[in-house]
Amino acid sequence: MTHTTDNAWQHPEVQLASGGYVVAYVAGLVLMGLSLWIVRGHVLAPMETGIAISALAGLAALIQCVLLLHLNISETQIWHTVALILFIPLFILAIGLSSWMFHGLYRRTMLMPAAHVSAPATGAQAAGAMKAPG
């Protein structure tokens, strides 16, 4: 078992905080709200929607890494940053191979036809999607 510090203010995470948490929280809310707006309002074509919300998710992850997890190369935090050795290959494997599989999948199946239409979604398309079986 570990020896803990009873005073929470002494924890290194708290010592390092210095306002970054609030910024990260607000930024997270804004980015999620933006994604929600894009999806709910159908403001972009399906493929562009996917790209846009992926980019926003990437930005949110970056903000969390820097402002919440304090990943940097300073002496105190370098070991947290080294954890990326595990994270980056896993990220490439899980996301990359999944995207590769789905990329080929759409050409072979009739799953989710709307995803490959690049034109902005029209009322007719939305109505068509509503009638899809299942």
Partner 1 sequence: MLVHIDGPWSPLLGRLALSEIPYKNPILVGTFVFAMLVGVVLVGLATYLGAWRTLWRDWLTSVDHKKIGIMYILIGLVMLFRGFIDAVMMRTQQALAVGPRSSGYLHALHGYLTPYHFGQIYTAHGTIMILFAATPLLVGIMNILVPLQIGARDMAYPYLNAVSLWLTAAGAALVMASLFIGNFAHAGWFGIVPVMELPYSPGVGVDYWMWAFQLSSIGTTLGGINLLATIVKMRAPGMTWGRLPIFTWASLSANLISLTTFPVLTVTLALLALDRYVGTHFYTAGLGGNLMLYNDLFWIWGHPEVYFVILPAFGMISEIIPTFSEKPLFGYLGMVLASLGIAGVSWGVWLHHFFTMAAAPAVNAFFSITTMVVGIPTGVKVFNWAFTMFRGRLRFELPMMWASAALFLLLVGGLTGMMNAFATNDYMVHNSVFVVAHFHMMLLLIVYAIFGGVNYWFPKVFGFRLEQRYGKMFFWLFTAGTAVVFIPMFTLGFMGMTRRLDYVAFPQWGPLLDIEVAGIAIYALSVVFLLAQLYVSFRDRAQNRAGLDAWETSRNLEWMTHSPVPFYNFAVTPEIHARDERAWRVEHGVDTVRPERYEDIHMPRNTALPLGLGLLSFGLAFGLVWRIWWLASVCAAMIVVLIVIRSFDNDTDYTIPAQDVERMERDIRDVPSGRPVTGDVAGGVPAFREGV
- The region of 4-12, 18-26, 55-63, 68-76 touching partner 1 under the rule CB under 8 A is 4-12
**77 Cβ neighbours under 8 A, 6+ residues apart:** 70, 71
Q: How far is the CB of 19 from partner 1 (least distance, A)?
A: 23
Q: Which two tokens stand for residue 18?
A: 């210095």
Backbone angles phi, psi at 118, to 5 degrees: -85, -20
Q: Look up residue 10 and give its DSSP letter.
A: G
Backbone angles phi, psi at 21, to 5 degrees: -65, -45
Taking the least distance from each CB to partner 1, the nearer of 4 and 118 is 4
Instruction: By CB under 8 A, tell whether 94 contacts partner 1.
Output: yes
Chain residues in the site for partner 1 (CB under 8 A): 1-4, 6, 8, 86, 89-90, 93-94, 97-98, 100-105, 107-109, 111-112, 114, 129-130, 132-134
